[in-house]
Amino acid sequence: MNHKRHEGHEVFKGGGCLPARWATPFIIVLVAALFFMNVSYEIHENVLARLGDISKLGVDRQALNEDVGRQLANDLREHFRMRNLNGPRNQFGARSSGFWSEIRNSVSDGEVDDGGVTVTISDPRVAQKYYGGRITMDQHRLAIPARAEAYNKSPRLFSNLRAVFFRSGAVALVDYEPEQKRVKGEKRIGRKPDRGLIFYWLVKAVEQEPDYDTLPQADIEATRLLEAAERHVQRITDRNDNEKVINS
């Protein structure tokens, strides 16, 4: 299995879906559906050891996993909310497409059992965002916005676009404003050219840069999940102590 380290993240590429996995005996899996890739967070040995200790305390494993899974889901939603508020804007300054809000809304509450918890990001675009890579369309070209008016809009929404082929090989969709018809009897010298603005560039493929900040930073998230597990155990301990006092 190949791996690549990037600014505190440990990225593994291999078969499966897109999970962030904490090793047994305490397992948390983050899945981005429909992509045959995976991401694993590297967690320090002392964190894993502490999670293992917690799992041996005799607490209800399913209840423990539920609390930790809830923490992970909430952290993901908050991370995506902040990306929506503070993340880099599109180059045109146009209104946001709401990408991060849609990713946030696709985070599940988690599926829990005795062995662990699975939190799913059902929007498959998150994997493309994380890894980046080449984007193509079979037998078609991609329409890349060239103006703010075109951002996050389909070319089909514009009725006056036409394809223009440049000598360089570039192809664009141009907002075409034809020359006004000459009034009968009017004389003109020369010809006024048609006017047009490039709305889209039509390309065969684009290369998207990977964005490893798509998911929370591994070491920080591992610590937060450990703290959630410890809080759960502390609540159980406090409750048991109170019951002993009452019954004594």
Q: What is the pLDDT of residue 82?
A: 93
6 and 101, same structural domain?
A: yes
pLDDT at res. 103: 92
Q: Are residues 128 and 169 in the same domain?
A: no
Q: Residue for token digits 């759960």?
A: 232
**pLDDT reported for residue 7:** 41
Where in the sequence is the domain holding 142, given as residue range(s)? 135-207
Question: What integer pLDDT is reported at residue 124 of this predicted model?
Answer: 83
State whether 117 and 162 are in the same domain.
no
Determine the pLDDT at residue 248.
63
End-to-end CA gap in the chain? 57
Which residues in the chain come in under a pLDDT of 50? 1-28, 32-43, 188-194
At 41 the pLDDT is: 46
Handedness of CA 241, 243, 246, 248 (dihedral sign): negative
In order of 13, 85, 163, 173, the CA distances from 155 in angstroms are: 35, 27, 11, 8
- Is-contact 151 98, C-beta < 8 A? no
The answer on 104 and 155 residing in a single domain is: no
Nearest to 39 by CA among 243, 213, 238, 225: 213
* Same domain as 203, residue 213: no
Tell me what pLDDT residue 91 has: 65
Q: Are residues 21 and 104 in the same domain?
A: yes
Same domain, 96 and 196: no
Q: In the chain, count of helices (H) and strands (E)?
A: 5, 11
The pLDDT value given to residue 191: 42
